[in-house]
A and B are shown apart, each in its own frame.
Chain A
Amino acid sequence: MHEFWIAIVVAVAGWWFFTGLILWCVHLPRRYHDSLFRAASVIFIAALALTPWITSQKTVAGVIMSFTLALVLWGWLELGYLIDKVGGLHKRECPPDASLLQRFREGLGTCIYHELGVVVTGLLLSVLAHDGTRSIAFWIYATLWLMRWSSKLNLILGVRNYNRDWLPTSLQYVDSYIQRRNMNVLFPISIVLSIWVLVRVVDAAHASVLIDVQIGYTLVATVVTLGALEHLFLMLPIGEGRLWEWASPQKPTSGIAALNLDEQSEAPPIVGKQFQADT
């Protein structure tokens, strides 16, 4: 029984680690971004090359590798978008008087290559994976994918609480596409669907007698739960920024401070010296 608790820890820690790592990379000085993205791309291609083998391993270790594989693929896409390597057609701010449809179309334009990358990677994964769309790697990936699209649609429709500080300075314009509202029509649907999927996945875990399948579904269920929580934070007044404070630059006052911080971190900070310089 305790395996399932460890599986939940694996899923939460893996998700936490990869998110933190990406945010940390994104906020590194720009001059590192090229080599960073090159290294990440090598890992991404290696992960795809290993996909048939990893997904054919019908063991607990195989399932853990499948989970990590999905996170690596997803992480590369996230990183590419956040450090501005794979973006969209334009980087215009949203016109202030735009209708919902316009906002959606313009917004999609800012990230269309990224979204196509997400779709193509998903298709590649389903083709390369040993069990196709039945493999745990694909399930994890599909969960991240659908959850992300759902939260993006929610952002376009309007959310109460959204952490602008997450966005690196080069992506601050994205904020103009995001509405602030206390509720939108999609949000309850997203939550109900997540819970429905969660119930189905937990059922599937119970229905299997194989430990690797059970662990695999436990990982999927945990990621679904984390996705649903991220959705909830969009509407809760507290803000999920709290969760990631440690991985994003401190911004005590405004976006201007963020700019300052990015400049400061250009020079690898030597804490003692920095203090001296400031005082």
Chain B
Amino acid sequence: MQSHTVNSGPSKRPVRRVDDRLMFVIMAGLLFVVAVISLATSTQTIVLAPKPDGEVVEYRRLQFVDLSDGGVSAFDADSLDLVAHVSSGEGSFLRGVLRSLVRARTAQGLSHQSAFELTLYADGRLILLDPETSQTIDLVAFGPTNFNAFRQLLSDAQR
């Protein structure tokens, strides 16, 4: 509005445009920064990098799917390859672990759908992490049979 009153000839308009252009670039930049920050923080709950406990030997994001026949299938969440299938009535340890992790998600009102992360460290520790709730389960604690039930979900990747 102000420019209108001062503007008596067309030659002055460009001068104001220079300022306006810079203003708009700055505004676009601010909008970008604000949007980036709000996007990054709105999904802050997701901790995807495993804590560095020794070197990571194998790592996989696993998506477990309940099937209508009572079976459970594990998929590689990145490649969507089928990693393992547990028929109805089998794999009680795996089911138990998953149930407890999912229960924690339900308690926090989080999505049931996202993947879990399984990491094998050089010191032999096998950790299942729920990135949604940041819950971790150290699978070494449950004995070799139970350990192998999850270990297989990694080694199949190398085949």
Contact = CB atoms under 8 A, between A and B. Distances in A.
A17 B20 CA distance: 14
B158 interface: no
A149 interface: no
Secondary structure class of chain A's binding surface, majority of residues: helix
A27 B20 CA distance: 13
A20 interface: yes
A271 B13 CA distance: 10
Given A246-B24, A252-B10, A274-B12, A209 B36 contact: no
Contact of A59 (B46, B78, B114): B46
B107 interface: no
Contacts of B42: 2-3, 6
Given A211-B46, A252-B13, A246 B35 contact: no
A264 B15 contact: yes
A209 B29 contact: no
Contacts of B77: 208-210
Secondary structure class of chain B's binding surface, majority of residues: helix
Interface in A235-266: 246-250, 252, 257, 260-261, 264-265
9 contacts: A6-B42, A9-B35, A17-B25, A21-B29, A60-B40, A211-B43, A215-B39, A246-B20, A250-B14
Interface of B: 6, 8-22, 24-25, 28-29, 31-32, 35-36, 38-40, 42-43, 46, 48-49, 61, 63, 77-78, 80, 113-115
Interface of A: 2-3, 6-7, 9-10, 13-14, 16-17, 20-21, 23-24, 27, 57-61, 64, 68, 207-212, 215, 246-250, 252, 257, 260-261, 264-265, 269, 271, 274-275, 278-279
